[in-house]
């Protein structure tokens, strides 16, 4: 029999919120990645990818959620906060996580192409840096991976249809 730890239900609850943010991105044809930041059991930051619609390469879900959480706390330091994100953060986002001093990162799906929380790089736990995060991976991984696969299948179909001879 498998016993749930007290935080596991909470992790799934907040990851479902991050998946709802990812759905917002998918509705506007952005890569469906969503993030929420939690402090003392309250969501204080939310974000979803908006790089295309804002024409801003830094408009990743994590960065937008970090900005919102920092404004909420009136601080650039997010000690005691947990970031929930549907895909493993890239090196830019992992750097921002370290600079913001986020205590814990929970992500759904690993990213073999650009994951920087243990898969390709490990910025968030690099002993040479002045802050390290606790990492939890795989929470609702299948849900996130399915959403990403669906998005890219549809993107390929749309791309093929627009380049097909008329």
Catalytic residues: 62
Q: Which two tokens stand for residue 75?
A: 């601080």
Alpha helices (H) in 28-164, listed in sequence order: 51-54, 61-73, 91-100, 141-163
Cα angle 109, 26, 143 (rounded to 5 degrees) comes to 30
Calpha distance 92→122 (Å, rounded): 12
In the structure encoding, which two tokens stand for residue 4, read together?
Answer: 């749930």
Residues in the chain: 166
The CA distances from residue 163 to 24, 149, 151, 156, 157, in Å, are 27, 21, 18, 11, 10
43: part of which helix (H) or strand (E)? strand 42-48
């Amino acid at each position: 029999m498998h016993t749930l730890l007290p935080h596991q239900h909470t992790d799934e609850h907040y990851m479902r919120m991050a998946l709802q943010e990812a759905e917002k991105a998918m509705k506007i044809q952005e890569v469906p990645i969503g993030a929420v930041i939690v402090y003392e059991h309250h969501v204080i930051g939310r974000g979803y990818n908006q790089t295309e619609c804002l024409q801003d390469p830094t408009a990743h879900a994590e960065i937008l959620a970090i900005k919102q959480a920092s404004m909420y706390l009136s601080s650039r330091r997010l000690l005691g906060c947990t970031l929930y994100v549907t895909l493993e953060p890239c090196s830019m986002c992992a750097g921002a996580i370290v600079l913001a001093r986020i205590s814990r990162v929970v992500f759904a799906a690993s990213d073999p192409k650009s994951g920087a929380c243990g898969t390709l790089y490990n910025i968030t736990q690099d002993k040479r840096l002045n802050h390290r995060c606790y990492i939890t991976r795989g929470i609702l991984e299948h849900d996130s991976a399915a959403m990403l696969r669906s998005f890219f299948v549809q993107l390929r179909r749309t791309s093929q249809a627009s380049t097909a001879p008329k």
